[in-house]
Amino acid sequence: MAYDARSESQRLIREGLPDRPVRLSRRHRFAPVSVDVASDAAATWFVRRGVGCFWDEIHLLVREPAGWRLLGGGGGSSGGPWSTDEFDRARGGLPAGGYELTGGSSVVRDKGSWLPFGSRWIRSSMLLVGPSVAEAVIAGRHRPVPYHGRLVVVWSSRRPPLVSLRDEVGRELSTVEPGDGHRRRCS
């Protein structure tokens, strides 16, 4: 059973992540993972249960007078069978203050633009952060890190924002420039 990406993304932007983890089952096949809003651009990340794998899906939206408009996004599968426990434990495989860039997505935000040259874009990156990272500061936006350590970062400028990964007392553990779109791991 598919989900309505636009309405579920709007709900995630409006209400934030649920207080407790959402378990995937045959009846409940998707769950929100992360959300980021930067001015009039937003990115939402959902995980969807497939046949023998999980699908990561990123949705990029722009705020207009009538509300949030879904522009597009991207996604992919894990390529192998994952369990919910493996999803939850993946963070523990990283160094305490480290991170891994796991993907990203981009979309042209201008309506009616046939060519990407000179167009404005909305971009996103997906991060998995180490177990000691409690907060991410993204271009001045303070965001708590969920228990599973996954974050989505969105921007609409030419250069990606610098992301400061911090521990529970606010000490910086590492910084990330998420815009290269390549899988990268750092300790």
pTM of the model: 0.86
Average pLDDT over residues 111-140: 83
Q: Are 105 and 74 in contact (CB under 8 A)?
A: yes
Paired sense of beta strands 141-144 and 99-108, if any: unpaired
pLDDT tens digits for 140-149? 999 999 988 9
Residue 186 CB neighbour total at 10 angstroms: 15
pLDDT tens digits for 37-59? 999 999 999 888 777 777 889 99
* Rounded Cα distance, 44 and 10, in Å: 9
Q: Give me the pLDDT at residue 43, please.
A: 95
Residue with structure tokens 């378990």? 23
* Rounded Cα distance, 25 and 51, in Å: 11
